[in-house]
């Protein structure tokens, strides 16, 4: 059952990202404040899903409250001959808001990101000039 759930998650997220990813003009990209980030990402029960461009994976995350979040993720594969097939997993960690940025502190490399709204319930996470994730708010 778990394998089928992972495959279904991958298919749903890929289809959604393809059809809901219109091109965004620079003036449509709005940087979120710390309060906006906190409301979207840290309110217990809020669900987000998206694509990790740096790690070639899709994921879905649930806010557990107090900055804690739980993620299910699935790799879309690798170009490496040592890891050619998709992998999947779960992780729980904590994030914080520092100076209008989201900072990871326990489930990924510690770093801070700017978050931009780029459409209705569509967001991007950036580290300087590098796009890390494109994601959607589910509720």
Distance CA 106, CA 122 (A): 25
Residue identified by tokens 């040592």 is 82
Cβ proximity of 88 and 71 under 8 Å: no
Per-residue pLDDT of the chain (139 residues; tens, 9 = 90+): 555 555 545 555 544 444 444 444 555 899 999 999 999 999 999 999 999 998 889 999 999 998 999 999 998 876 666 666 668 899 898 899 999 999 987 666 678 999 999 999 999 999 999 999 999 999 9
Q: Is the pTM of this model over 0.85?
A: no
Phi, psi for 44 (deg, rounded to 5): -50, 130
Q: In b/e form, how buried is each residue of 112-127, taking b as 16+ CB within 10 angstroms?
A: bbbbbbbeeebbbbbe
């Amino acid at each position: 059952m778990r394998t089928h759930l992972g495959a279904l998650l991958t298919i749903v997220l890929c289809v959604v990202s393809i059809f809901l990813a219109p091109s965004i003009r620079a003036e449509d990209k709005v940087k979120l404040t710390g309060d906006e980030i906190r409301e979207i990402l840290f309110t217990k029960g809020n669900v987000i899903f998206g694509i990790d461009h740096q790690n070639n994976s899709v994921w879905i995350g649930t806010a557990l409250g107090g900055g804690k979040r739980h993620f299910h993720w699935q790799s879309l594969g690798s170009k490496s001959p040592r890891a050619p097939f998709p992998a999947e997993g779960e992780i729980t960690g904590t994030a914080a808001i520092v100076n209008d940025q989201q900072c990871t502190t326990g489930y990924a490399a510690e770093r801070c990101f700017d978050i931009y709204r780029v459409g209705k319930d569509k967001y991007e996470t950036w580290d300087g000039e590098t796009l890390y994730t494109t994601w959607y708010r589910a509720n």
